[in-house]
Amino acid sequence: MYRANRRVMALSLLAFLGACGSKNTKFKTYSGPPVTQVVINKGQRRLYLLNNQTVLKSYDIGLGNEPVGDKQFEGDGKTPEGTYFIDRFNPRSRYYLSVGISYPNAEDTAYAEKMGRKPGGDIFIHGWGPEGRVLAPKKRDWTAGCIAVKDNEIEDIYAMLRPGTPIVINP
């Protein structure tokens, strides 16, 4: 009995170590020039990763399901406009991977409160994930206010960005 348990434990350990050594392509590394700014042009549905004035990468994007205009309130389906910062990373996002945007800022919050509403939050650049793979081919702007890119593209973006990177979202 003791030998059988040792054998099971040894096989379990080998399987675990094998899984740890397998390559997970979800998390890439990036060693190029740093991204100094993210620019999103909502009207063009384009996201640009810049190093100073040089475009390092650009991507087609999807927006909130009400893409025209600035996000003002929770549930309005709009993507914010203005200057924000990258403030968090979610490796377990239901949208594959996601990078947080510092919306709402003080002005967004003050305006919503003045109108007796909540500004909303949890705005991310994220992948499609299972939901996007169903919705994005039918409707480009399908999020609740986030910026969506394909899963393989968010892998690059996730690797290239750092906390504090400014993001400018233009109409």
At 93-151, the pLDDT tens digits run: 999 999 999 999 999 999 999 999 999 999 999 999 999 999 999 999 999 999 999 99
At 23-52, the pLDDT tens digits run: 557 899 999 999 999 999 999 999 999 999
Answer whether residue 113 is part of any domain. Answer: yes
At 126-141, the pLDDT tens digits run: 999 999 999 999 999 9
Report the alpha-carbon distance of residue 133 to residue 129 in Å, rounded.
6
Structural domains of the chain, count: 1
pTM, two decimals, is: 0.84
Answer whether residue 24 is part of any domain. Answer: no
Answer whether residue 40 is part of any domain. Answer: yes
Which burial class, exposed, middle or buried, applies to 114 when counting CB atoms under 10 A from its CB (0-12, 13-18, 19+)?
exposed
Task: Domain of residue 47: give its range.
Answer: 30-170
Answer whether residue 22 is part of any domain. Answer: no
Answer whether residue 2 is part of any domain. Answer: no
Computed from CA positions of residues 132, 139, 67, 156, in that sequence, does the dihedral angle turn out positive or negative?
Answer: positive
Answer whether residue 11 is part of any domain. Answer: no
Residues 146/128, Cβ–Cβ less than 8 Å: no
